[in-house]
Structure formats: C-alpha cells, structure tokens
Amino acid sequence: MVQVLAQETGVDTSEVPFAVTDRAKVPRERYYDKAFFDLENEKLWPRVWQMACRLEEIPNVGDYTEYWVARYSVIVVRTSPTEIKAYQNACRHRATQLAVGRGSFRGGQIVCPFHGWRWNLDGTPSLPLYGAQGFEPRCLDEDDLRLIECQVDTWAGCVWINMDRDAPPLQHAMRPLPEFLDPLRIGDMRVHWWKSIRLNCNWKIAIEAFMEGWHVMSTHPQLTMGAGEAFPADFLDIQHSYENGHASLEEGHDKEVAEGLGLTAQAEVEKTLGFLRLTCDQLQAMVLPKDVQVVESLRNIDCAPEEFSGRMIQAMYAWNTGAGIKLPDPEPEILARWGSQWFIFPNFMFHPLFGNSISYRARPDGDDPEHCLFEVWSLTLFPEGQEPGKPTFDGEFAKDDEAWPRIPRQDFSNMERQQIGLHQPGFTTMRLAKKFEDGIANFHAYLDTYLAR
Ligand code: FES
Ligand SMILES: [Fe+2]
C-alpha cells in the first residue's frame, strides 16, 4: 500500500509515523499525537507556502501584520507601493519578537522594544545600532544583522509566505488552481466581514469540515429545503484531486434532480429563491442581499423552466453592471465554476459564488495539537473604484456565539466532538468515502510527502 502512494507522489513516505498507507483510511494519531504534530511543525510549516494575510490589510508603505502558525511568527510588511517583504519575527540581538498584531512602522523603522536596535523596512540594519561599541566586531557583520527574510508572493487577493528561501515559487506550488480561480476574479474581491474562532480540535479537523458536501443533509438539514433523506448525498459530489495536494468539489447532482422534477419556471424561481434566502441569512457570504433581490425581481418571469437559470444570470449581470461591479467574463465554462469549492494545500479554502466568496483558514495555535485558530472571510466584488480600504477584523467569537451565522455554527459543532471521538480506545482510523472525500485523502497523502522529506 505504501508503494501505491509512493508512485502517486514520487516520495517514499514509509518512514513517516502514522503515514496514510491506504487512501480510504486516516490513522487517528495524525490529529493528536504530539510527535506527529512536532513533525508538521518541523517539516511542513517552515517549508510550505501559506496564506499570511489579505492584501488589503497592508495598503500603505510601513503597514504590517504579524502572521502566526504553531510557534512561528512572521512579520509581513509593505516596503513600497509595489513590494511586500516578510521576516521571521526575531531581533538579531537577543531574539525579542519585533512586532505584535497589526499596525504601521513609524518612520519606516522596525524598532526592537528591548534595547532599541532598528531595521529599515527592507530588513537592513539601521546603523549605527545603539550600543554597537560594546560588541566584538564579529558580532556586527552587517549581512548577519539583516532580518531573516521569508519568500513572499501575492495571489488571489492574499499575501503568501514561505519560510524556506529555497522552496519552489508560489506559482509552482499553486498549480493548477490559478487557471480555475483567476477567471472568477477572486483576486479582485475584498473583505465584507472577517471573524475568527479558537477551537479545541486539530487544525486538519477544522479545514476538513469544508472539504466535502455530503454532511449537508445531517449538519445543515435546513439547506435540504424539506427534502429530508431524499436529499442527494452526492450533492457537491464531483471531487477533483490535484497535484500539490489541492482539491476541488463541484456541485454536480442538484441541477439534474431539478430538471428531472419537471418544475415550472415559477417553481424554479421559488425554489432558487428559498435556497438563496437561506444561504444569505445563515451564512452571510457567497449569497448577499443584492443577489436575493435580483432573483426576487424575477418572481413573475414568463419563460420555459429550463431557461430560468440563464435568465437569472442575465439579470445578475445587468444589476451588477448597473452598480459598477464587474463580474467575471460570462463564459459558460467560467460560470460553471460558481458554487465549486477549492481547497488550497495545506490549510486554506475559497468557495466562490456569483461575485462573492467565502474563504477559510485553519492553523495550529501554539504547541497543542488539539487546538487551532480558524478564520472566516466573506468576500465580494465591490464597484470599481469604490473598493474599501483596510478590512476591519470583527473579532474572535465562541462557537455558539450568534455573531457567527447559523451555518458555520453548525459546522463548528461537529469539530470538537470529532476530536473527542478520536481518543476513544476502540477507534483507530477515520474511513473516507472515495466518492465524497477523496480530496481529504489527497490532502493527507501530500502532507506525508512533506513529512518524509
Ligand atoms: S533584544 Fe532586540 S535590541 Fe536587544
Ligand atoms: Fe458545512
């Protein structure tokens, strides 16, 4: 079995503890074992491209944000209107964390709070360093005093960092996702809201909750619109597993079911409207009030039922164009990607619909494998020239706080229960449905190639 995965990824993962040797089974220890977690911290996070912040968080020269993952802290800073840099967050004197949270470095200087050493935004030491006369010359090599730089690149409206200076470039690591996501104008979306939560579960449990759609019937029964158990398990059933550990999930079944039901155009409108209203109210992302309004305006539409979805898209484009919002080019193969969700290895997701998207990130929080920090962004396209500036972080909320819309609260409710179940002595492996959960298997198999290197 190890051989199978080794062939698929070209890496021998047989030495990795608790390696995935069967794509249908995930050993439970991967979610809580401290040695496995330490291996991720040694071999994954310092070497993988990861989303560090939204691009609009640092619009002005000197703006910075601190990005945390496990024990690692990275400063992401805008150094010029066209350049962003990232540094390991440590003073070159005695290691003090240089920046905390978010803000702007005044006067273009990064200043250590302990003894006052300074750096220019480009990472070079700002000479003379205070008290330099007290050091032996070999401690003051200028190159060795530079801040320790990470690789940085931007894509999809985000800043991505990699602590490994020798890692292949971002474009290489993201393949093949940009060709699918860029035409959806994902990079032009801006933050509508942004919230976070600390969860008592492993970071992989949190992100995996968004990697399959067949939990909808049980976790979000309201979204089945009364279909109950007749709701197709293969709603969101078309899994694509890609190179570099990425995956996507395509909504495939529902349309065919609707066509088979022979609904009238009016019934199509009502059904669509019901679903859009629910999503708008209970997710407050992907479907926004403007989208509901457009479909409401079609309630007295007179057309053949199979023409309805085309008419809805036309109405949406007309409304957005009138509002100055440029939606993606209305090519059928681009529009067909609305509603698909995209997992970006190792811990990030986009789920675009219309000119909006929801986006998720899960990260280990400190030293505890059973604790993670999870964030949700609602994104949307704004009228051109009226894009908002720095986004407001709405805050961190508990899992049952009504500041969270109902749908994410329902998702959160399973995660800590999974983490508890994993520890029961008779439970040994997660089992994955090939048809619905192959993206999760692909994720774990690719994770092992990092842990094996
Ligand atoms: S630790 Fe930063 S200047 Fe001393
Ligand atoms: Fe869900």
CA of 215 from ligand 2 middle (Å) equals: 6
Which of 110, 142, 166 is a domain's end point? 166
Residue nearest to atom 3 of ligand 1 (CA): 115
Bridge partners of 54, per DSSP, are: 158
What is the number of other CB atoms lying within 10 angstroms of the CB of residue 102?
A: 15
DSSP per residue, 380-394: EPPPTT---SSPPP-
DSSP H or E run through 449: helix 434-452
Counting ligand 1 atoms within 8 A of each CB, the residue from 88, 89, 91 with the most, and so the one to mutate, is 91
Based on the fold, state whether residues 256 and 376 are members of the same structural domain.
yes
Q: Which ligand is nearest to the CA of 410?
A: 2
Q: Which ligand is nearest to the CA of 139?
A: 1
Q: Is 336 exposed, middle or buried (0-12, 13-18, 19+ CB in 10 A)?
A: exposed
From the CA of 91, give the closest atom in ligand 1.
Answer: 2
Q: Which ligand is nearest to the CA of 235?
A: 2
Counting ligand 1 atoms within 8 A of each CB, the residue from 75, 94, 139 with the most, and so the one to mutate, is 94
Give the pLDDT of residue 262.
66
Give the pLDDT of residue 248.
94
Residue nearest to atom 1 of ligand 1 (CA): 94
Residue nearest to atom 4 of ligand 1 (CA): 115
Counting ligand 1 atoms within 8 A of each CB, the residue from 112, 119, 145 with the most, and so the one to mutate, is 112
CA dist 25 and 33 (Å) reads 17
CA of 209 from ligand 2 middle (Å) equals: 6
Based on the fold, state whether residues 21 and 107 are members of the same structural domain.
no
Q: What is the CATH classification number for the domain harbouring 106?
A: 2.102.10.10
List, as ranges, residues with CB under 5 A of the ion ligand 2. Answer: 411
Sign of the CA dihedral with 329 first, then 333, 334, and 339 last: positive
Based on the fold, state whether residues 158 and 183 are members of the same structural domain.
no
Strands 63-69 and 149-155: unpaired
Q: Which ligand is nearest to the CA of 414?
A: 2
Sequence length of the chain is 453
Based on the fold, state whether residues 234 and 196 are members of the same structural domain.
yes
CA of 408 from ligand 2 middle (Å) equals: 7
Based on the fold, state whether residues 28 and 54 are members of the same structural domain.
no
CA of 90 from ligand 1 middle (Å) equals: 9
CA of 48 from ligand 2 middle (Å) equals: 26
Per the listing, tokens 């019934």 go with: 267
From the CA of 117, give the closest atom in ligand 1.
Answer: 3
Give the pLDDT of residue 3.
35
151 with 167: CB under 8 angstroms? yes
Beta strands in 143-260 (DSSP E): 149-155, 158-162, 190-199, 238-241, 247-250
CA of 208 from ligand 2 middle (Å) equals: 10
CA of 95 from ligand 1 middle (Å) equals: 7
CA of 407 from ligand 2 middle (Å) equals: 6
From the CA of 113, give the closest atom in ligand 1.
Answer: 2
Based on the fold, state whether residues 217 and 137 are members of the same structural domain.
no
CA dist 130 and 147 (Å) reads 16
Which of 166, 186, 214 is a domain's end point? 166
Based on the fold, state whether residues 55 and 41 are members of the same structural domain.
no
Which of 118, 134, 166 is a domain's end point? 166
Beta strands in 354-425 (DSSP E): 356-364, 372-380, 395-396
CA dist 373 and 377 (Å) reads 14
Q: What is the CATH classification number for the domain harbouring 413?
A: 3.90.380.10
Q: Which ligand is nearest to the CA of 249?
A: 2
Q: Is 418 exposed, middle or buried (0-12, 13-18, 19+ CB in 10 A)?
A: middle
CA of 260 from ligand 2 middle (Å) equals: 26
Based on the fold, state whether residues 432 and 293 are members of the same structural domain.
yes
Based on the fold, state whether residues 54 and 65 are members of the same structural domain.
yes
Ligand 1 pocket at CB < 6 A = 91, 93-94, 96, 112, 114-115, 117
From the CA of 129, give the closest atom in ligand 1.
Answer: 3
Based on the fold, state whether residues 335 and 409 are members of the same structural domain.
yes
Based on the fold, state whether residues 221 and 319 are members of the same structural domain.
yes
Per-residue tens of pLDDT for the chain, all 453 residues:
333 444 466 789 989 999 999 999 999 999 999 999 999 999 999 999 999 999 999 999 999 999 999 999 999 999 999 999 999 999 999 999 999 999 999 999 999 999 999 999 999 999 999 999 999 999 999 999 999 999 999 999 999 999 999 999 999 999 999 999 999 999 999 999 999 999 999 999 999 999 998 898 899 999 887 777 777 766 666 789 999 999 999 876 555 555 556 678 888 888 889 999 999 999 999 999 999 999 999 988 888 888 888 999 999 999 999 999 999 999 999 999 999 999 999 999 999 999 999 999 999 999 999 999 999 999 999 999 999 999 999 999 999 999 999 999 999 999 999 999 999 999 999 999 998 999 999 999 999 999 998
Q: Which ligand is nearest to the CA of 145?
A: 1
Per the listing, tokens 């800073």 go with: 77
What is the 8-class DSSP label of residue 99? -
pTM more than 0.85: yes
CA of 114 from ligand 1 middle (Å) equals: 5
Give the pLDDT of residue 5.
47
- Can you give the residue range of the structural domain that contains 115? 50-166
Category of 420 on φ-ψ map: left (φ > 0), alpha (ψ -120 to 50) or beta: alpha
How many structural domains comprise the chain? 2
Based on the fold, state whether residues 138 and 263 are members of the same structural domain.
no
Give the pLDDT of residue 152.
98
